[in-house]
Chains A and B, each alone.
Chain A
């Protein structure tokens, strides 16, 4: 394509001169009128034009004839719609060697073709045409909206043709509780789930019972939400919190089992980040699958000295830690990549809201997807390497990861090109556990203390503030000028100075006004 563009552009660069033509367009029959004096005059004129063109660097003859013969104002090509300057297409008599002539002005009728051989039926003519520009060359919003509709429909069709066929519904399990950052995380997850093109049901398990905050955020959801209250309160210590979240997820799985909800269970923590490809990839799972999770454990951490050393010393270690399935070369699951927490054990956060890194557990729940039929009491084709859900979690048994639901963990399917593709990221970012936030993030009633902004001229300023203003003005006028607001301010202060008759300030304000003028 480069070649063709270059060819198209440069195709006549060299031979224009070799063709020996100053302007190169066939002349109309006007040439016949000038035949007798033209024998001497026109070639000489032609030579003159060529010389001037060589000097000026463009085809001067065209411009000259445009100025001489055209009644229109000479103008460059764009900016307003023009008539065609049409050159009728005629067979040139080989003997004439006339320079280019733009067509005669629109007043005269176009010259008749000299020979009867001209192509009367040709609508498309060679020669200079006007460049048509419409008066308002900007997009029309209604058309833009239509274009976006077209794009959306085309993409939907692409998904139907090439994407996932017969998508199974997805059951998203999210443990949450009301806290400062809940709105941030839950709204993000909500919008991600609303973008998923497959049928979705969202099971939100809330610690501490149903709260108004959560309901308020979920009320704007377009996906069906099942809110499940959970009696216990969310603890403050991270390790206890992980355990409670596991119990909450198990509770949701029990609900799925009771109601025989059908679909693929995805564990989406509210602070995690998911890509759309994840939702397409999990459609491939048969019974239980595992995906790779990128661990963003360092995101909340300030620069610790050891980390700096580590980065300077060994660049390769700063890869993103990933938890997920490990495969051998033939694509079979042989083990698990986990996050090595030992180097950070001393600096890890214990309480929610400390400003240090939060460590994930060995295998995060969010890296696993389960076919809900695994959880049902009775299901066709249910494999026997799954423990019955009623037997799990009783008598104080702690469930750390979904692998504890299985008798045989080797039959988990690795997804995402055998774990090579990372499609979601684990992240925990929380404010202090006792931090306060306005309910539903609405400031109502209005705040009680009102403080004026520093640079706003305040009409009813109390007397002590005027001194502050004058001091500011001095700074500003010394810095730079030519802003109307400053001039008005200085005028203000000038007026005030006049009242007070302070010499220094008057001079300064005089200066400022003079400068502005």
Chain B
């Protein structure tokens, strides 16, 4: 009997330990917990941690633009539209602006498309400026902090620099009026004009249903070593080469076109998604901008992303430990890419695959409709919640003005 009494607390302790250690000890789950520099935050629930007030702008800023061109819902900049829709019906939304922590302005700046489907950014600064003028005159909350507790979604190539060409974007810089606001953008590069401190980097939009439709059974053996489909030379805009992708993509082609381990080409196969699921490494080199939907696709399909973009800032970098999940190759090391990839120890590769298999990792990269828990929408809110509470200094004293409303190129000042 006495022995039995001693065994009981031991059993309780053992079961507690099992509970704490969690998923890693279940033999059926081939995944690992993901914790970034901010901690184990991918699974946080933002509801209850912040309140967001959505400004009601006239439909010329959002609905009318979308009606004019519904292609905006499918391209890789569609996050701005889906975020608006998500926030309208989300539990974090509040209709009382006095208790709001963050203010959201729904203006679709990336929806002016060419016949080919590419967004033209020339009117975007004026559109944004017009929206800000409107909210600053209609509501007092902009002037209270000059935008420091407002956030904007600017998913274009170089974020709020509003240009597709890097030199022009750098020359313009971030729109002056957004100087104090938080920007949620896809572009991220360290020490770059177009990424300001405190921005939240998000993944580009990739259609979740389309990717789900192309899943193949997970026991299909991964027999492709390195996979890439895309351009190496942009003959239309950079015929001599060396400009596009800073020469990195051309270098990949010239060095590895004869290498049977590298399945790289410029074709557009219909089995693109299926092939990614049969590959161990997927190259994600920079193009004209360092980010691309390839990263999202690689993560969803369990292919280890090989990121070739110097100083890139990847989505949710404080929540996702990208160094442990992907392989980073400096642009100058591209000729040695095969040596680098084959010399990675096998345990490291298996660990990366386990981290990628974690469903919360895949969820965090997607924008499903309707929104699901732990998806990219929630990670954005988590990121905003982590920036709270606002410091006292963001609240301006009466009469204090920081922004210069006439700064920037003259063309931006024209009303939209």
Instruction: State the A residues within 8 Å of B (CB).
Output: 1-16, 19, 24-26, 58-59, 62-63, 76-78, 85, 89, 91-92, 94, 119, 121-124, 126-134, 137-140, 143-144, 146-147, 149-151, 153-155, 157-159, 161-163
Across-interface contacts of A58 in B (CB, < 8 A): 239-240
Question: B241 at interface (Cβ–Cβ under 8 A)?
Answer: yes
The answer for the CA separation of A133 and B241 in the assembled complex, in Å, is: 13
B241 in contact with A10 (CB, 8 Å): no
Question: B359 at interface (Cβ–Cβ under 8 A)?
Answer: no
A146 in contact with B343 (CB, 8 Å): yes
A133 in contact with B261 (CB, 8 Å): no
A1 in contact with B293 (CB, 8 Å): yes
Instruction: State the B residues within 8 Å of A (CB).
Output: 30, 74-76, 114, 116-118, 120, 157, 164-168, 170-171, 189, 191-193, 217-219, 221-223, 225, 229-231, 234, 236-237, 239-243, 246-247, 250-251, 254-261, 268, 272, 280, 287-288, 292-294, 297, 310-311, 331-332, 334-336, 338-339, 341-344, 346, 349-350, 353, 409
B236 in contact with A10 (CB, 8 Å): yes
A59 in contact with B239 (CB, 8 Å): yes
Across-interface contacts of B331 in A (CB, < 8 A): 129
Across-interface contacts of B287 in A (CB, < 8 A): 8
The answer for the CA separation of A144 and B242 in the assembled complex, in Å, is: 29
The answer for the CA separation of A78 and B335 in the assembled complex, in Å, is: 12
A162 in contact with B118 (CB, 8 Å): no
B219 in contact with A158 (CB, 8 Å): yes
The answer for the CA separation of A4 and B164 in the assembled complex, in Å, is: 14
9 closest residue pairs by CB, A with B: A134-B335, A162-B219, A77-B241, A129-B247, A155-B221, A161-B30, A146-B342, A131-B247, A143-B342
Across-interface contacts of B193 in A (CB, < 8 A): 119
A11 in contact with B164 (CB, 8 Å): yes
Across-interface contacts of B292 in A (CB, < 8 A): 4, 8
Of the candidates A14, A119, A149, the one whose C-beta lies within 8 Å of that of B114 is: A14
A153 in contact with B350 (CB, 8 Å): yes
A132 in contact with B335 (CB, 8 Å): yes
Closest A residue to B221 by CB, please name it.
Answer: A155
B76 in contact with A127 (CB, 8 Å): no
A132 in contact with B334 (CB, 8 Å): yes
Query: Closest CB of chain A to B59's CB: distance in Å?
Result: 26
The answer for the CA separation of A7 and B72 in the assembled complex, in Å, is: 13
The answer for the CA separation of A131 and B261 in the assembled complex, in Å, is: 21
Query: Closest CB of chain A to B331's CB: distance in Å?
Result: 8
B268 in contact with A1 (CB, 8 Å): yes
Across-interface contacts of A24 in B (CB, < 8 A): 165, 167
A9-B234, A16-B237 are known contacts. Are A137 and B254 too (CB-CB below 8 A)?
yes
A77 in contact with B191 (CB, 8 Å): no
Across-interface contacts of A2 in B (CB, < 8 A): 268
A124-B310, A144-B261 are known contacts. Are A150 and B353 too (CB-CB below 8 A)?
no
Closest A residue to B290 by CB, please name it.
Answer: A124
Helix, strand, loop or mixed for chain B's interface? loop
Of the candidates B230, B240, B332, B341, the one whose C-beta lies within 8 Å of that of A5 is: B230
Query: Closest CB of chain A to B291's CB: distance in Å?
Result: 11
Across-interface contacts of B297 in A (CB, < 8 A): 1
Across-interface contacts of B268 in A (CB, < 8 A): 1-2, 5
Across-interface contacts of A138 in B (CB, < 8 A): 258-259
Query: Closest CB of chain A to B274's CB: distance in Å?
Result: 12
A4-B76, A9-B234, A130-B242 are known contacts. Are A89 and B117 too (CB-CB below 8 A)?
no
Closest A residue to B261 by CB, please name it.
Answer: A147
A25 in contact with B167 (CB, 8 Å): yes
A130 in contact with B191 (CB, 8 Å): no
Closest A residue to B262 by CB, please name it.
Answer: A139
Of the candidates B221, B242, B256, the one whose C-beta lies within 8 Å of that of A77 is: B242
Query: Closest CB of chain A to B268's CB: distance in Å?
Result: 5
Across-interface contacts of A161 in B (CB, < 8 A): 30, 218
Across-interface contacts of A134 in B (CB, < 8 A): 255, 335-336
Residue from B76, B242, B268 with most neighbouring chain A CB atoms (10 Å):
B242
Across-interface contacts of B332 in A (CB, < 8 A): 132
Query: Closest CB of chain A to B137's CB: distance in Å?
Result: 29
Of the candidates B167, B246, B247, the one whose C-beta lies within 8 Å of that of A26 is: B167
Of the candidates B76, B167, B256, B344, the one whose C-beta lies within 8 Å of that of A3 is: B76
Query: Closest CB of chain B to A97's CB: distance in Å?
Result: 13
List 22 A-B pairs, Cβ < 8 Å. A6-B116, A7-B116, A10-B116, A10-B236, A11-B164, A24-B165, A24-B167, A59-B239, A78-B250, A78-B254, A91-B170, A124-B311, A126-B166, A128-B247, A131-B254, A132-B334, A132-B335, A137-B258, A144-B260, A153-B350, A154-B350, A161-B30
A133 in contact with B118 (CB, 8 Å): no
Across-interface contacts of B255 in A (CB, < 8 A): 132-134, 137
Across-interface contacts of A1 in B (CB, < 8 A): 229, 268, 272, 293-294, 297
Across-interface contacts of A25 in B (CB, < 8 A): 167
Closest A residue to B297 by CB, please name it.
Answer: A1
The answer for the CA separation of A26 and B170 in the assembled complex, in Å, is: 11
The answer for the CA separation of A2 and B259 in the assembled complex, in Å, is: 25
A10-B118, A128-B242 are known contacts. Are A155 and B222 too (CB-CB below 8 A)?
yes
Of the candidates B171, B260, B280, the one whose C-beta lies within 8 Å of that of A150 is: B280
Across-interface contacts of A92 in B (CB, < 8 A): 167, 171
A10-B236, A139-B258, A139-B261 are known contacts. Are A151 and B225 too (CB-CB below 8 A)?
yes
Of the candidates B120, B241, B260, the one whose C-beta lies within 8 Å of that of A139 is: B260
B236 in contact with A3 (CB, 8 Å): no
The answer for the CA separation of A99 and B241 in the assembled complex, in Å, is: 19
Query: Closest CB of chain B to A213's CB: distance in Å?
Result: 36
4 additional A-B residue pairs with CB within 8 Å, beyond A7-B116, A129-B246: A5-B268, A77-B242, A128-B242, A134-B335
A59-B239, A76-B240, A150-B225 are known contacts. Are A123 and B311 too (CB-CB below 8 A)?
yes
The answer for the CA separation of A294 and B241 in the assembled complex, in Å, is: 55
Closest A residue to B234 by CB, please name it.
Answer: A9
The answer for the CA separation of A6 and B225 in the assembled complex, in Å, is: 26
A151 in contact with B223 (CB, 8 Å): yes
B335 in contact with A140 (CB, 8 Å): no
Of the candidates A78, A122, A131, A149, the one whose C-beta lies within 8 Å of that of B346 is: A149
The answer for the CA separation of A14 and B342 in the assembled complex, in Å, is: 42
Of the candidates A10, A19, A130, the one whose C-beta lies within 8 Å of that of B247 is: A130
The answer for the CA separation of A7 and B261 in the assembled complex, in Å, is: 28
Query: Closest CB of chain A to B233's CB: distance in Å?
Result: 8
